[in-house]
Copies of this chain bind each other. A is one copy, B any other.
């Protein structure tokens, strides 16, 4: 993977510099769910997640994520630098981050972390279209959705016959592409003709890939691509073995933690499903959310065309993803089930900061009479005093989490590297009194019912809540103790009712939840994208064997919004 025009959001380490990558375009390509923390802010780094991404980048099964002696499951770090990159061959976007583990953090960093939660980097003026077979064929041009053309492209001079103009758009590498934009045909439609096929062949686009155009602040046209996630053959790096990669990640982090020295990581937003560098404020906020078995939640997913939609789910288990190697880790420690039958592809393991509990406005902004019990609201620092010490009081266990004991590791002759690392127990145990999931002040589900939004299934909800008391025991696999039959029955019975509630709650809570990003999607139109074999030369048909994109466009029935293309903002 070659280097590219890299870009400094901050002065990152130079590595074959060209020109700064347009941040808006980068975010448009990385998708609506990706928000990078601001430089200087505090973040939480999860080695497990990092390992998962490496495994995902190599298209390998996430077999065993090894741990490493003396490396805790999370590191609180200061984000020293952030550089946005794009692969020069594939245009794949990724970010380079320099993190420095910290034991204590200052007020500014905390505030920066807070502010980072509120910014949404998705460009306002953009559209994204999944390419059809006709779009990518050499036979024709690109059919531009009408609304998209009207919103994004410069207006045509309709006195011309036919109306046409030359468009110029720059990609992530600042390379300009020129297209003939014409409005013709019967019925009339917007087309990109001359220049389009060169773009398609140079970028090696196939039907199913997406193209997106944005207009930045200076009204300049930019374009990016987003490739379909087709089943790719396992990727062998040919440079480093998978074992060495994993141990490299962990060793680098462990050293950095021990010395409070910076280390560098790469984050590829589209390679793995989860971010592993989380704003500290977001993480803390999530810690204060009650999670209990059977709890209902919503979670954001990206739609095919760069929109977002929420899926409803239920927490079916709470416990370590890997109780042997990564004890007491918050990484994907929730087992979940999804309401919709089409959700078979969705993950069954999520982390607490990924979900939005249903009806939680109370905890985001507790009523005044609860405040005396908590000196500061960690999620929302004000100007009154030291955020730092407030944190220490609120979360006394944090301080112990960074001491690196130099463990005299035993040696196990004959074990493979992964086996050996797998045997290493994480020596960083949380203090005995600190539960794996922090006990909240109140039970959110119970609150939801008192709030009047929960109706008709009080008994079952209470039952789950009672069982959820077990979670104060660290690392207990409470999910397995559940009565799954009763659970399933309950879900089936109250399914329709819940969906009605969802809509109401979604509308209510999105007004008060600062983390909820506004969704604007229009022009929904459902029709499965066609996929066909790309034409290959007859002479060496087997040799030129380029696997045709399998018609894997799963027609998932969407509740909220689903369309072949989306114009961001009302049309």
- Which residues does A use to contact B, with CB under 8 Å? 1-4, 6, 15-16, 54, 57-58, 85, 87-88, 92, 94, 96, 171, 175-178, 194-195, 198-199, 202, 232-241, 243-249, 251-252, 255-256, 258-266, 268, 404, 406, 408-409, 411-417, 420-421, 537, 539-540, 542-545
Q: Name the contact of A3 in the complex, choosing from B235, B404, B539 (C-beta under 8 A).
A: B235
Q: Are A202 and B544 in contact (CB under 8 A)?
A: yes
CB-CB under 8 A from A542, the residues of chain B are 175-176
CB distance from A220 to the nearest CB of B (A): 16
**Quick one: given A3-B234, A85-B236, A198-B540, are A259 and B175 in contact (CB under 8 Å)?**
no
Q: Flag if A233 contacts B414 (CB, 8 Å).
A: no
CA distance A161 to B96 in the complex (A): 63
Are A239 and B57 in contact (CB-based, < 8 A)?
A: yes
Contact B259 A252 (CB under 8 A): no
From B249, B265, B415, contact of A248 by CB (8 A): B249
User: Across the interface, which residues of B come within 8 angstroms of A409, CB to CB?
Assistant: 406
Provide the bound-state CA to CA distance between A501 and B245, in Å.
50
Counting every copy of the chain, the complex holds 2
CB nearest to A196 among chain B residues: B539
Q: List 10 A-B contacts (CB under 8 A).
A: A2-B232, A177-B540, A202-B544, A241-B265, A243-B263, A244-B251, A247-B248, A248-B248, A258-B411, A261-B417
* Interchain CA distance A255-B252 in the complex, whole Å: 15
Residue among A240, A243, A261, A263 facing the most chain B CB atoms (10 A cut-off): A240
Given A259-B415, A260-B414, 4 other A-B contacts at CB below 8 A? A3-B233, A175-B542, A178-B543, A194-B539
User: B236 near A240 (CB under 8 angstroms)?
Assistant: no
CA distance A261 to B416 in the complex (A): 6
Complex contact A251–B249 (CB within 8 A): no
Chain B residues whose CB sits within 8 angstroms of the CB of A243 once the complex forms: 252, 263-264
State A415–B263 Cα separation when bound (angstroms).
Answer: 10
- Most chain-B Cβ atoms within 10 A of its Cβ — which of A194, A234, A408? A234
A490 to B3, CA, bound (A): 47
A537 to B177, alpha carbons, bound, how many Å? 12
Structural contact, B238 and A199, CB atoms closer than 8 A: no
